[in-house]
Structure 1
Amino acid sequence: MNAPVRISDLLNVPRRYLVDVHAIVDRRPIAARMHTFAAGGFLLTGILGLLAAAGLLNGHVAAVVIALSGMSGIAGATFAFARRSPRKPSYLSGGLYYSLPWLLGLANIFFMGVGISSAADLMVAWNTPSGIILLLTGMVSLTGLALITGKGPMRHALAGTLHLAWHPRPGRFNGQSADTAFAQIDLDAPKLGANRVEDFAWNELLGFDSCVQCGRCEAACPAFAAGLPLNPKKFVNDIAGSNAPVQYAGSPHPGLPEHREQAGPILIGEEGASIAPETIWACTTCRACVDACPMMIEHLDGMIALRRFETLEHGATPGKAGDLFDALRETDTQSGNPLPARLDFAADLALPLMKEQHPVEVLLWIGEGGYELRNQRSLRAFIKLLRIAQIDFAVLAEERDCGDAARRLGDEIEFLRLAQANIATLSRYSFRSIVTLDPHVAHSLTRDYPSLGGNYQVFHHTTFLDGLVREGRLSVEGQLNGRVTYHDPCYLGRYLNEIDAPRALIDKLGVERVEMARHGRQSFCCGGGGGGPVTDIKGKQRIPDLRMEQARETEAEIVVVACPNCTTMLEGVTQPRPLVRELSEILLEAVERRSS
């Protein structure tokens, strides 16, 4: 596949490296300092040393600067070596990565020696003992670095630099992580999705080859933590290794036999493929791997491309995914229920319908939550809050499933059918904004639909409620007590970048809010995304059980949630656990207490 090449894009590298990459690297301050000293010291000392050798830097001041730069590089390299000795963290790769720190350290010594002697006019003769030692140091270090540029760490660092220039998602560098929609595919193409390396665009492959095996994606991945057969670090190296001599020295995919992990030209779908089907279906599409990656690799683009091939070319979806597709095709809903039945739960609320009352200020998207008993409670609470705030709203009742599950399970055809039908329905009505309780719906309407002609102002209900409280249309201050923790939904936090509104609402209630170790953009998935509940890939543990254990560690009495999937998954935990409550429900309780 082709992608444009503009040499001018190289000018974007410095800013993207210094701003976007380091924003991720800095999440681990100690590792960030190590990276700054080791890589920055090496580059700066090399440049200054060569300038001095060329006669462009002279004097004792220049020599001191070169010395300080070189010592910084040596300190960073020493720290990097110590970090892997005597026992490296499990998420770090070994192999040639053990050689990189001491090669960088020796290279710093060489450039520092050359630079200082040249700048201070203390030229060292190469036939003296000190000259021979310096020469050998340079030969060993630079030869070693050249060798591991072929198929080791330096190769991936070089690929990573070029990846920043020609990133397949340039929208990621605007600081808002807005570029999260999956690219559409040509439905008339001879092959749908990807099962070979040549099915990817060259800059996508460049991204996969940028992996420096730091293991941040592995440490962030909920599927890996639960022992499901997925290691995102191994996954991108499986793809990169199918077309290049990549040496992988990290953790395998949990629970898979060794023969399933051999590199080859076929990625998936045939005997001898390098990636097992269980691996791609274990992913919850939570985006933790992408968000954690300092090389800004798009793991999920590769995952969805392979899923599309398996689904559209082979019809090979596991578990109950086939039943979900059947329900979507037959009824336009995941549950298999008629469209109007989604309002049965609110028969006593006399909900206004768009077809009877428009234009309106707010279109409330009921969605799949209207069919599920537990999430009906959340919807009822939110509807009551809208009425207390005197919001002019109406519901559709005729909306189809938004297509999120179909798209993430690889059925792009079904996604397009549902999305286009919803866009046609919405075009018949006049409203100012859409509000939904489901972050997956909010993401689809906000990020997936615009490329199809559906452009709307969409609010997740937490953002909308926060606005109502700020405007004084709802009063909730100081009405509750107790200790609570908030679980960030992946599609609200990482995808839509909404971290603050739910916390602002909770903080007004009078409760003590405590954070789980994994929160905000680094939140831990509930296991309910990406079709996980229907693919049902088995692991050593359940992802929601792991998340609830993190909640228990806070000693909170209540876990506040803001997503119907999260509510279902976390309430399904059978071990002793805190109470799970949706944010609308506790806000309604606070409002009613204040008015009583």
Structure 2
Amino acid sequence: MLNTLLPILLFAALGLAVLGALRRVAMWRRGRASKVDLIGGLFAMPKRYMVDLHHVVARDKYIANTHVATAGGAVASAVLAILVHGFGLHNRFLGYALLLMTAVMFVGAIFVYLRRRNPPARLSKGPWMRLPKSLLAFSASFFLVTLPVAGILPENFGGWILAAILFVGVLWGVSELFFGMTWGGPMKHAFAGALHLAWHRRAERFGGGRSTGLKPLDLNDPTAPLGVEKPKDFTWNQLLGFDACVQCGKCEAACPAFAAGQPLNPKKLIQDMVVGLAGGTDAKFAGSPYPGKAIGEHAGNPHQPIVNGLVDADTLWSCTTCRACVEECPMMIEHVDAIVDMRRHLTLEKGATPNKGAEVLENLIATDNPGGFAPGGRMNWAADLNLNLLSEKKSTDVLFWVGDGAFDMRNQRTLRAFVKVLKAAKVDFAVLGLEERDSGDVARRLGDEATFQLLAKRNIQTLAKYSFNRIVTCDPHSFHVLKNEYGAFDGNYLVQHHSTYMAEIIGAGALSLGQHKSSSVTYHDPCYLGRYNGEYEAPREVLRALGIEVQEMQRSGFRSRCCGGGGGAPITDIPGKQRIPDMRMEDIRETGAELVAVGCPQCTAMLEGVVEPRPLIKDIAELVADALLDDSGQSKPNAPAKREEPAEAH
């Protein structure tokens, strides 16, 4: 009986799976066009799956080993089952191979079941709770029906009752793995995920690459939407990426806004986009809601506006763009791209940037800096430093990009300290002075692509007039924009963060340094230096050169918790149950450190905004400047920072 029914079942399931695949592809193709290498991507997919995806999955050894056994066993078992029981190739060798693969899959499924028996809060439940049982049913049933093929048991063993039971088991397992893979259900991620890896919108991420710069809008194309208003405004491979979500919740666990009780959960955001892709409501979502927002209140379809339908605007504005969600995602989904795309529509089309957002954007247009200070005060912090201007010098080795920290009294101390270090190392450097404009980082993260491109093109025009070998800046946000986002407008430069440059000149013996006296120091990794640009080691090299043994926080390196200062979050200021910098300060206090070394003016401002008592906050440049020795081996006194506030700030 089984020999007759199994081929019918298998090929019927395959046929339905193909129909489901065509339906899903049609859903994805509702999105806008995107240039991808369709054939090359398919050939590259296996390596991307085995290497790049598993590089992320391998951070959790339990799940990595489980996934290898379950997924590898399932793929091999499905192929062999079609050959043996579909095409009737009752070959003993194939039978034993199928027995082995179903056994491997069964063992993996047991570990999936154990993880799901008492799942952590980040894991979605609902249909996902049946997945281990479906995997067990598939592997156990096919194992038993294959025993006669391998010659271990006689044909028709157990009679028709056992055959009926096995057929039900096969039907259950095949429905989940074949039918559910394309029509919907927990296994949907396998089909969509494979094609997402093949046609990823950031193919540069694979093979050890890094791609973190936002993609520009074509503001000269009147037909191109200014951002994303409706699900169909995403590119088709973005929609495909959303559909690949495995609902593991690693993004949720990493998100600082979610932890702070702000109305953002990146996992639910992606699932809401899936709802918008197919049409419907979020009532069946079986994971954690947005903090403070009930499940079942949002709905939409591909042709309806996302905001106030699928999501609320404050969900989008809660994001700090720290990229922790993207870093943790085993399916390599681009959450931040999607959020900024939707912000662009709100800002450019609706003018709906909340709180101080509109004021900051107006300031950038009027004064070239977000604080609205008169541009003529940009160099007041260096009035006594006799810095070389590139307009006079024309050519230099290092262009010191000052950034808008020039208008902030606290950051002026960092700038002056770094100038002291550059002079001590006898570096040939200059500044743009009043020719420098805001890099455009804040405008771009707030969705104002037009202002960003205006600022970027002005800066690129200015830089084209001069000759320099590299740009060095103390601000990771300016560093990221200049390094990774100006290239789209033909602004290609060698750009370094000041920690990287200081590590270089210290390694070359250009500085004579004493030892730091503080008893305990921890280091806070800035998001835009670490996760965005992969620079974790240089700041620690500098600290080690000062004799500092860093007391690492539990969340450090690529898992560093955001300070809450990126993505315009302090400007949009969406309330939560607690402040992100307060949470980060708790991480710091757990180390017992008396001093926090930082490498970003945003991080400095956010952490110093935490109510005292708390550890001292100092930029790495300040620590190096404090440790400089003169020719006699004595510490060089550090000139006090100018305390006068620019007149225009009053």
Taking structure 1 as the reference length, what is the TM-score of the superposition? 0.95
* Aligned mate of 1:504, from 530, 541, 552: 541
Query: What value does the CA root-mean-square deviation take over the aligned residues?
Result: 2.1
In the alignment, the residues of structure 1 paired with residue 335 and residue 262 of structure 2 have an alpha-carbon distance, to the nearest angstrom, of 17
* Aligned mate of 1:394, from 426, 430, 433: 430
Partner of residue 323, structure 1: 359
- 1:218 equivalent in alignment to 2:262: no
In the alignment, the residues of structure 2 paired with residue 135 and residue 245 of structure 1 have an alpha-carbon distance, to the nearest angstrom, of 35
Partner of residue 232, structure 1: 266
Aligned partner letter, 2:33: N
In the alignment, the residues of structure 2 paired with residue 513 and residue 192 of structure 1 have an alpha-carbon distance, to the nearest angstrom, of 45
In the alignment, the residues of structure 1 paired with residue 551 and residue 151 of structure 2 have an alpha-carbon distance, to the nearest angstrom, of 58
Partner of residue 137, structure 1: 169
- 1:546 equivalent in alignment to 2:576: no
In structure 2, the residue corresponding to 1:278 is in which secondary structure?
Answer: helix
Partner of residue 233, structure 2: 199
- Report 1:299-338 matches (<5 A): 299-338=335-374
- Report 1:308-387 matches (<5 A): 308-387=344-423
In the alignment, the residues of structure 1 paired with residue 110 and residue 130 of structure 2 have an alpha-carbon distance, to the nearest angstrom, of 12
In structure 1, the residue corresponding to 2:618 is in which secondary structure?
Answer: strand
Is contact 2:278–2:301 with CA below 8 Å preserved after alignment?
no
Partner of residue 208, structure 1: 242
* Aligned mate of 1:567, from 580, 599, 604: 604
Is contact 1:481–1:509 with CA below 8 Å preserved after alignment?
no
Partner of residue 130, structure 2: 99
- 1:19 equivalent in alignment to 2:51: yes
Partner of residue 189, structure 2: 156
Alpha-carbon shift at residue 492 of structure 1 (Å): 0.3
- 1:242 equivalent in alignment to 2:258: no
Aligned partner letter, 1:424: Q
In structure 1, the residue corresponding to 2:470 is in which secondary structure?
Answer: strand
Alpha-carbon shift at residue 587 of structure 1 (Å): 1.3
Provide the aligned length of Structure 1 versus Structure 2. 593
* Aligned mate of 1:298, from 326, 334, 344: 334
Is contact 2:285–2:295 with CA below 8 Å preserved after alignment?
no
In the alignment, the residues of structure 2 paired with residue 111 and residue 580 of structure 1 have an alpha-carbon distance, to the nearest angstrom, of 62
In the alignment, the residues of structure 2 paired with residue 345 and residue 579 of structure 1 have an alpha-carbon distance, to the nearest angstrom, of 23
Alpha-carbon shift at residue 575 of structure 1 (Å): 4.5
Is contact 2:216–2:488 with CA below 8 Å preserved after alignment?
no
In structure 2, the residue corresponding to 1:524 is in which secondary structure?
Answer: coil
Identity among equivalent positions (%) equals 46
Alpha-carbon shift at residue 395 of structure 1 (Å): 0.5
Partner of residue 572, structure 2: 535
Partner of residue 3, structure 1: 34
Is contact 1:227–1:540 with CA below 8 Å preserved after alignment?
yes
Is contact 2:92–2:150 with CA below 8 Å preserved after alignment?
yes
Is contact 2:202–2:211 with CA below 8 Å preserved after alignment?
no
C-alpha change, 1:540 and 1:131, in structure 2 (3 Å) is: same
Is contact 1:266–1:273 with CA below 8 Å preserved after alignment?
no
C-alpha change, 1:442 and 1:95, in structure 2 (3 Å) is: same
- 1:69 equivalent in alignment to 2:105: no
Deviations 1:395-452 (A, max 9, x none): 1011100001101101010001000000001011111110000111011111110110
Aligned partner letter, 1:90: A
In structure 2, the residue corresponding to 1:559 is in which secondary structure?
Answer: strand
Alpha-carbon shift at residue 144 of structure 1 (Å): 3.6
Partner of residue 638, structure 2: none
Deviations 1:363-410 (A, max 9, x none): 000110111011111111111000111100001011100001101101
C-alpha change, 1:591 and 1:134, in structure 2 (3 Å) is: same
C-alpha change, 1:199 and 1:245, in structure 2 (3 Å) is: closer
Partner of residue 287, structure 1: 323
In the alignment, the residues of structure 2 paired with residue 267 and residue 504 of structure 1 have an alpha-carbon distance, to the nearest angstrom, of 51
Alpha-carbon shift at residue 121 of structure 1 (Å): 6.4
C-alpha change, 1:260 and 1:322, in structure 2 (3 Å) is: farther
In the alignment, the residues of structure 2 paired with residue 202 and residue 325 of structure 1 have an alpha-carbon distance, to the nearest angstrom, of 31
Aligned partner letter, 2:127: L
Partner of residue 460, structure 1: 497
In the alignment, the residues of structure 2 paired with residue 475 and residue 492 of structure 1 have an alpha-carbon distance, to the nearest angstrom, of 26
Partner of residue 143, structure 2: 112
In structure 2, the residue corresponding to 1:39 is in which secondary structure?
Answer: helix
In the alignment, the residues of structure 2 paired with residue 124 and residue 420 of structure 1 have an alpha-carbon distance, to the nearest angstrom, of 76
Is contact 1:438–1:563 with CA below 8 Å preserved after alignment?
yes
In structure 2, the residue corresponding to 1:325 is in which secondary structure?
Answer: helix
Partner of residue 210, structure 2: 177
Partner of residue 8, structure 2: none
In the alignment, the residues of structure 2 paired with residue 254 and residue 359 of structure 1 have an alpha-carbon distance, to the nearest angstrom, of 53
Deviates more, 1:491-500 or 1:107-116: 107-116
Aligned partner letter, 1:569: M
- 1:28 equivalent in alignment to 2:64: no
In the alignment, the residues of structure 1 paired with residue 231 and residue 595 of structure 2 have an alpha-carbon distance, to the nearest angstrom, of 47
Is contact 1:241–1:263 with CA below 8 Å preserved after alignment?
yes
In the alignment, the residues of structure 2 paired with residue 4 and residue 329 of structure 1 have an alpha-carbon distance, to the nearest angstrom, of 33
Unaligned runs of 5+ in 1: none
Is contact 2:522–2:596 with CA below 8 Å preserved after alignment?
yes
- 1:39 equivalent in alignment to 2:75: no
Deviates more, 1:535-544 or 1:575-584: 575-584
Alpha-carbon shift at residue 112 of structure 1 (Å): 2.5
In the alignment, the residues of structure 2 paired with residue 506 and residue 55 of structure 1 have an alpha-carbon distance, to the nearest angstrom, of 67
C-alpha change, 1:401 and 1:516, in structure 2 (3 Å) is: same
In the alignment, the residues of structure 2 paired with residue 369 and residue 513 of structure 1 have an alpha-carbon distance, to the nearest angstrom, of 26
Is contact 2:66–2:111 with CA below 8 Å preserved after alignment?
yes
In structure 2, the residue corresponding to 1:581 is in which secondary structure?
Answer: strand
In structure 2, the residue corresponding to 1:459 is in which secondary structure?
Answer: strand
Is contact 2:231–2:306 with CA below 8 Å preserved after alignment?
no
